[in-house]
Amino acid sequence: MIGGLTSLSLSRIAFARQSNGPITATKLSENIILFTGAGGNIVTLTGPDGLLMVNGGLPERSADLTKTLSSHFNVNRVQVLFNTDWHLENTGSNETLGSAGAKIIAHENTKLWLGTDIRVEWENRTYKPRPAKALPNQTFYTSGKMTFGKEEVRYGYLGQAHTDGDIYVFFPGPNILMTGDVFTAGAYPIPDYCTNGWLGGLVNATKSLIDLSDAATKIVPGIGPVQARAELESQLEMCSTMKTRLADLMRQGKGADEIVAAAPTAEFDKKWGNPKLFLSVAYRGLWSHVRELGGIV
């Protein structure tokens, strides 16, 4: 394993989860607003009697988020909350909103992770089970859809990618796609092997997101500004290339440190940033799929 995973996880938090400043709002359509600054991107859809929200920020920003929502909406009760995966930057408002009666929708695997101890090696951290009110109270396995106010909302499972509970939420009317942390802007995506994410799954999930979108789709990543479909295509190229390249290095008998020293991401670093955490977790995740990759053992 590559050393220094604790410092790598801190660097991830530093570049990806800016959460000490103000929470800001960007209007994406007549009734959809993107909120940033609470730990990860949050999308809200306004209905006649309340809000639908995709992700809820970090727990320590939940109170600030509630105040921000109150300042933007006459009706601010969150009726529906989607969790795109189990990580805290997406589930930090679960307990507050669940206690207030919100419907919390997530993949079944996300609910299972939230209800148990999770040891995340690359963060050197153990996450404790969340309270019962913080657990999703409506789960699914493949896909679903609903109508909220006047908008159709579609959602679906993205497989083992960033985690094994990743989902997207798509608003076909205004053509807005929330990807969760399967897709990130300005930083390498993280295939969290500790909860069954892996690089091959990121390739497949990114393909699925491309198929859901078109040239006019506003794509909201887990972190970073709104993107176009071309950026999803760039992530697909990078992840596909790195899956092949890392597997080839592993077939040559290269270990983790040797792979980092080989600088396999060099042509992508200007766009995606520091690759060290990405390489460390991708390498570990690939080892869980060596039979599928072939020729490594």
User: What is the residue range of 205's domain?
Assistant: 18-237
Contact 75, 51 (CB under 8 A): yes
Task: Tell whether 100 is covered by a domain.
Answer: yes
**What totals of helices (H) and strands (E) does the chain contain, helices first?**
11, 14
The conformation of residue 111, written as its DSSP 8-state character, comes to H
Summarised one tens digit per residue, pLDDT across range 120-174 is: 999 999 999 999 999 999 999 999 999 999 999 999 999 999 999 999 999 999 9
Task: Tell whether 260 is covered by a domain.
Answer: no
Task: Tell whether 264 is covered by a domain.
Answer: no
All residues at 6 or more sequence positions from 263 whose CB lies less than 8 Å from its CB, including other chains: none
Listed range (3-7, 82-86, 200-204, 245-249) with the worst mean pLDDT: 3-7
Task: Tell whether 12 is covered by a domain.
Answer: no
0.85 exceeded by the pTM?
A: yes
Task: Tell whether 62 is covered by a domain.
Answer: yes
Q: Which residue has the tokens 């657990």?
A: 135
Summarised one tens digit per residue, pLDDT across range 58-73 is: 999 999 999 999 999 8
Listing DSSP states for 54-109 in one string gives: E----GGGHHHHHHHHHHH-SS--EEEEE-SSSSHHHHTTHHHHHHTT-EEEEEHH
pLDDT at 4 over 50: no
Tell me how many domains the chain contains.
Answer: 1
Instruction: Report the CATH number that the domain containing residue 201 is assigned in CATH.
Output: 3.60.15.10
Task: Tell whether 73 is covered by a domain.
Answer: yes
Summarised one tens digit per residue, pLDDT across range 178-200 is: 999 999 999 999 999 999 999 99
